[in-house]
Structure 1
Amino acid sequence: MDTEFAFTGLRSGAGPATWGQSAIWDVVRHLGTDSARYNVSGGCPLPEPLPVARVAEIVRVLLARHDSLHTRLEFDGSALRQAVVGSGAVPAVVRSSPEVLPAAYDLYHELQAEPFDPLSELPLRVGLVTSGGLVRYAVFSLSHTASDGWGLRNLLADFSALLAGRPLGEVPLQPLEEAGFQTSERGRRRDAAARRSWLAKLDRGPRRQFPVRAPAAPTFPNAVLNSPALALAMDRVAAGLAVNPAAVLLAAAAAAACRLTGVRDAVFQVVVNNRFLPGLAGGVNAVAQEGLFHLAGTHEPFPGLVRRTFGAALSAQRHAYYDKLALDRDIASIRACDHSCFVNDTRGLMPILGYTKPAPAPLSEARSRTTLTWPVEHEPRRNTTFALDAQDAEGSLELAMTADSALIPRQDMARFLYGIEELVVDQALALGAD
Structure 2
Amino acid sequence: MTVSPPTGTGAPRRRVQLTPLRSIPVGFTGRRAAEGPMTFGQLNILQWLSGTPGHVPATVCDELEVSGETSVGDVAEIIAVLLGRHEGLRTSYVTGERPRQLVVDAGVLMLDVCSLGEAGWGAADRPAVAKALIRWLSARETPGMTDFPVRVAVAVVDERVIACAAEFSLMAVDYQALGIVRREFAEMIRDRSARQVGEPRHQPLDQAGLEATPAARHQAATTLCYWQDQLERMPRHLYVPSAGPTGQSLSVELSSVAAAMAVRAVAARTRASGSSIVLAAICAVLAQRTGHQELVFPLLSGNRFERRLSRYVGTLVQACVATVEVSRASFDALVTQTWTSVIEACRYGRYNAFDRVAVGKRIEHERGLCFSYEPLFNSLVAESLPAFNAGAECRLEQVNAALRQTELRWRPVPGFQAPVRFGLTQVEGVVRLESWSADSGKVPRTEMESLLLAVERLLVAAAHSDLDAGRIREVISLDPISRGPDWTLVDSCWVDLVEAQRLLDEALAPAAARLFPSVGGRPLVAYLVATESVSTPEQAHARCMAALPNHPDALTPRHYVLCAATPLDPANLNTWHSVLSAGTGRVDQQSADALDSSLR
Q: TM-score range by the shorter chain?
A: 0.7 to 0.9
Give the C-alpha shift of residue 210 in structure 1: 2.5
- Aligned equivalent of 2:174, options 139, 148, 154: 148
CA separation in 2, counterparts of 1:39 and 1:415? Answer: 30
SS of residue matched to 1:73: strand
Give the one of 15, 21, 24 matched to 2:45. 24
Q: State the AA in 1 paired with 2:451.
A: F
Give the structure 2 partner of residue 126 of structure 1: 152
2-structure distance, mates of 1:243, 1:202? 27
Q: 1:43 aligned to 2:43?
A: no
Number of residue pairs matched?
Answer: 417
Offset at 1:245?
Answer: 0.8
Determine the structure 2 residue equivalent to 1:81: 100
2:296 matches 1:267: yes
Which residue in 1 is equivalent to 2:87? 67
Alignment counterpart, residue 449 of structure 2, candidates 409, 414, 418:
414
How far does residue 134 in structure 1 lie from its aligned partner after superposition?
A: 3.4
Choose 1 or 2 for highest CA Rg: 2
Shift of 1:263: 0.8
Deviates more, 1:87-96 or 1:64-73: 87-96
1:356 match = none
Whether the aligned pair in 1 keeps the contact of 2:239 and 2:420 (CA below 8 Å) is no
Shift of 1:332: 1.1
Counterpart of 1:210?
A: 239
Question: Per the alignment, in what secondary structure is the counterpart of residue 139 of structure 1?
Answer: strand
Instruction: For residue 205 of structure 1, report the CA deviation from its aligned partner.
Output: 4.2
> Distance in 1 between the 2:258 and 2:271 partners?
20
User: Using a 3 Å threshold, how does the CA distance of structure 1 residues 121 and 239 change in structure 2: closer, same or farther?
Assistant: farther
Deviations 1:282-319 (A, max 9, x none): 11110111121111125633211101111111101111
- Listed as ranges, the matches of 1:63-212 within 5 Å are 63-76=83-96, 78-85=97-104, 86-94=106-114, 96=116, 98-108=121-131, 110-111=133-134, 113-114=138-139, 116-130=142-156, 133-135=159-161, 137-163=163-189, 164=191, 165-166=193-194, 170-206=199-235, 208-212=237-241
Q: 2:75 aligns with which of 52, 55, 64?
A: 55
Instruction: Decide whether the 8 Å contact of 1:227 with 1:397 is kept in 2.
Output: yes
Cα deviation for residue 152 of structure 1 reads 1.4
DSSP 3-state at the match of 1:333: helix
Question: Counterpart amino acid of 2:433?
Answer: L
- Residue 50 of structure 1 and its aligned partner are, at CA, apart by 3.0
Moved more, 236-245 or 422-431: 422-431
What is the alpha-carbon distance in structure 2 between the residues aligned to residue 134 and residue 288 of structure 1? 37
Partner of residue 355, structure 1? none
Of residues 305, 309, 314 in structure 2, which corresponds to 1:276? 305
Question: Higher mean Cα deviation, 416-425 or 304-313?
Answer: 416-425
- Check the 8 A contact 1:266/1:298 in 2, yes or no: no
Name the amino acid aligned to 1:98: W
For the 8 Å contact 1:28–1:38, the answer to whether it is kept is no
Q: Pick 1 or 2: higher relative contact order, CA cutoff 8 A, min separation 6.
A: 1
Distance, in Å, in 2 between the alignment partners of 1:134 and 1:393 is 36
Which shows bigger deviation, 261-270 or 89-98? 89-98
Unpaired stretches in structure 1, ≥5 consecutive residues: 350-359
- Tell me what 1:368 maps to: 404
Q: Deviations over 1:401-425 (max 9, x none)?
A: 2224476444322221112222222
Structure 2 Cα separation of the partners of residues 148 and 404 of structure 1 = 23
2:434 to 367, 388, 400: 400
56-65 or 163-172, larger mean C-alpha shift = 163-172
User: Equivalents in 2 of 1:240, 1:15: separation in Å?
Assistant: 48
* Separation in structure 2 between the aligned mates of residue 215 and residue 287 of structure 1, nearest angstrom: 38
8 Å CA contact retained: 2:274, 2:427: no
Find the aligned partners of 2:275 and 2:199 in 1 and give their Cα distance: 29
Deviation, 1:276, is 2.6
CA distance in 1, matches of 2:203, 2:453: 42
Tell me how far apart the structure 2 counterparts of residues 404 and 275 of structure 1 sit (CA, whole Å): 29
Q: Is the 8 A contact 1:39 1:144 kept in 2?
A: yes
- One-letter amino acid matched to 1:284: V
Secondary structure of 2:246's match?
coil
Moved more, 403-412 or 262-271: 403-412
AA matched with 1:417: L
Change (3 A) 1:6 1:31: farther
1:14-54 deviations in Å (ceiling 9; x for gaps)? 222221112123324565665448615243343x7232212
Q: TM-score, normalised by structure 2?
A: 0.63
1:352 match: none
Question: For residues 152 and 273 of structure 1, what CA distance do their matches in structure 2 show?
Answer: 13
Task: Note the alpha carbon deviations across 1:70-95, whole angstroms, 9 max, x for none.
Answer: 1222223x453322233131443455
Distance 1:278 1:249 in 2: 27
Deviations 1:247-304 (A, max 9, x none): 1121111111112112111222111111234522211110111121111125633211
Say which SS state the counterpart of residue 344 (structure 1) adopts: strand
Q: 1:364 to 1:278 in 2, by over 3 A?
A: closer
* 1:61-114 Cα deviation digits (max 9, x unpaired): 1111111111222223x4533222331314434555623243333323542644
Q: What is residue 328 of structure 1 aligned with on the other side? A: 357
Q: 1:13 to 1:74 in 2, by over 3 A?
A: same
Shift of 1:373: 3.0
Please state how far the C-alpha of 1:202 moved relative to its aligned partner.
Answer: 2.2
CA contact (8 A) 1:258 1:299 kept: no
The equivalent residue for 2:459 is: 424
Contact 2:58 2:142 (C-alpha < 8 Å) held by counterparts: no
TM-score using structure 1 length: 0.84
Code of the residue aligned with 1:190 in structure 2: it is: Q
For the 8 Å contact 2:300–2:379, the answer to whether it is kept is: yes
Q: Which residue of 1 aligns with 2:583?
A: none
Answer yes or no: is the 8 Å Cα contact 1:118–1:145 preserved in 2. Answer: no
Residue 280 to residue 311, structure 1, CA distance change in 2 (3 Å):
same
1:310 and 2:331 matched: no
User: Structure 2 stretches of 5 or more lacking a match?
Assistant: 1-20, 384-393, 467-600
Conserved 8 A contact 2:280-2:335: yes
